[in-house]
Structure 1
Amino acid sequence: MGTTALRSASSHFREGIQAGLSIAIGYFPIALTFGLLAKTTGLSMSETVLMSMIVYAGASQYIALNLISLGTGVFEIVLTTFIVNIRHFLMTTSLSQKVEQDSLWAKITYAFGITDETFSVIATKEGKVTTGYVFGVVGISYCSWVFFSGVGHLFGAGLPQTLQESMSVALYAMFVGLLVPSLKGSKKVAFLAVTAAAFNSIFTLSGLLSTGWAIVAATLLSATLVEWIEWVKKKGGANDGD
């Protein structure tokens, strides 16, 4: 690679860092809270940082903490987080048309760093996007999430036990904060949330499934039911048009 090409790649990388700076700042309180909750749940510093490094998915990590605190099995936790993150397949597929052609390993590497926030920044940039720009956006976002997860755990170790235990409320507050805006903007999301809650309550209260499997089954069944209803509506509308 020539000097000019290196300068160009470096320039695009810096541009990506600047674009991702707002994401890095936004991750600060969420990652900090995750670290605090991880400490409360019983995870060590290394386990907390490793989870953020390897999983790197905010909502899924919060869900995993909740399942861990309930004593859920490893397979159930992995399956649940996989279902929650399955949308990332669509996101990375979409970005493959937006980002310049590069090696497979480069694509695999930056695809790991795609989150809802980094996807939004990259997808809304006008024109084709360079690999350097993508690495800049995902790089600073990833470093922020991992670093502040560790900081949260470190601070959590020095907090009074009663305050550490009360931090579990933040987990549910985050879910409510994510859910309410979606409920306001979409009846489909509202129906999906209510249906999933109903299925989960039935499975849990009846003792048919353990807590972890109840969440997995409720998620799959509610999503399938909602999509089936949407399909029936569209088919009915097409028939009316004929």
Structure 2
Amino acid sequence: MNGELSVKSAIKETLPTVFGYIGIGIAFGIIGHAAGISTLLVGLISIIIYAGSAQFITVSMLTAGAPVLSIIIATFLVNSRMILMSASLAPYFEKYSVLKNVQIGTLLTDESFALGMNKINHTNHQLSFEWFNTANIIVYLTWIVSSIIGAELGNLIGDPQTWGLDFAIIAMFWGLLYLQVLADRQFSFKLQVLVIITAIVLTYVGMIFLPKTLVIIVVTIVGCESGVLIKHAFF
């Protein structure tokens, strides 16, 4: 990454994450096809819901004949972490109009958020609408096209796990975490490693005692507080 906040820079810096989207998008399309959902509906789900984990849940609940209200509530809970992410990004876009802020928030994903957090390490803590919107649009279009391709490939590919496609998004997040640790010069390497280990432990414990829909948002809040405590206590 560099210090530019242009459209050209956004395209260059977003492309590495595209491969993760392609893998998991195709996997979703294949699973949607296997569940008896048409290619058109798979495409519409990706366009309207646009949330990987929530889309997999939606397909499962549709297949099980769950009520629409239950699907809506489940989708909201799974994606409630976006409230925290949007709140974290809001200060960087105060100078832009409400419409532009809504546009950024609507297409925000875990990956584009992580890219943005990496980017501020190179731009003196600045973000631009042009850069972030370009990144959002690239991953949005990639996700839609990939899921449609996956639905069409459903006749040829059986279980996406046999191709390793289910691991694509996990690998992408590990890559983004690695880049974040390398690029963030505000905090020491030891502090970052301690916070990462704390988050892993909290996630493990949370998976035991909390509903899966609440794990991410609870771990995010508790992890942030723990990071602050660790920083002030030992660094």
Would the TM-score normalized by the shorter structure come out above 0.5? yes
Shift of 1:74: 1.3
Shift of 1:88: 0.4
Matched, 1:195 2:209: yes
Which residue in 2 is equivalent to 1:38? 32
Which residue in 2 is equivalent to 1:99? 93
| Cα shift readout 1:32-62 (whole Å, capped 9, x = no counterpart) | 0100001111111111111111111111111
Structure 2, unmatched stretches of 5+, are 175-195, 227-235
Matched, 1:151 2:145: no
SS at match of 1:37: helix
Which residue in 2 is equivalent to 1:52? 46
Aligned residues: 189
| Cα shift readout 1:174-210 (whole Å, capped 9, x = no counterpart) | 6xx69xx9999533222221224xxxxxxxxxxxxxx
| Structure 2 contact 93–128 (Cα < 8 Å) conserved | yes
* Distance verdict in 2 for CA 1:73–1:168, change over 3 Å: farther
Taking the aligned partners of 1:69 and 1:170, their CA distance within structure 2 comes to 23
- TM-score, reference length from structure 1: 0.67
1:2-21 alignment runs, 5 A limit: 12-21=6-15
Which residue in 1 is equivalent to 2:230? none
Shift of 1:16: 1.3
Shift of 1:14: 1.9
Which residue in 2 is equivalent to 1:27? 21
Taking the aligned partners of 1:74 and 1:183, their CA distance within structure 2 comes to 38
Which residue in 1 is equivalent to 2:62? 68
Which residue in 2 is equivalent to 1:128? 126
SS at match of 1:145: helix
Aligned AA (1:67): M
Matched, 1:110 2:108: no
Specify which of 137, 140, 143 is matched with residue 138 of structure 2.
140
- TM-score, reference length from structure 2: 0.69
Structure 1, unmatched stretches of 5+, are 1-10, 197-217, 235-242
Larger Rg computed on CA atoms: 1
Task: Give the number of the structure whose residues are more often helix, by fraction.
Answer: 1
| Structure 2 contact 93–101 (Cα < 8 Å) conserved | no
Taking the aligned partners of 2:147 and 2:72, their CA distance within structure 1 comes to 20
Deviation >3 Å, runs of 4+: 166-171, 181-185
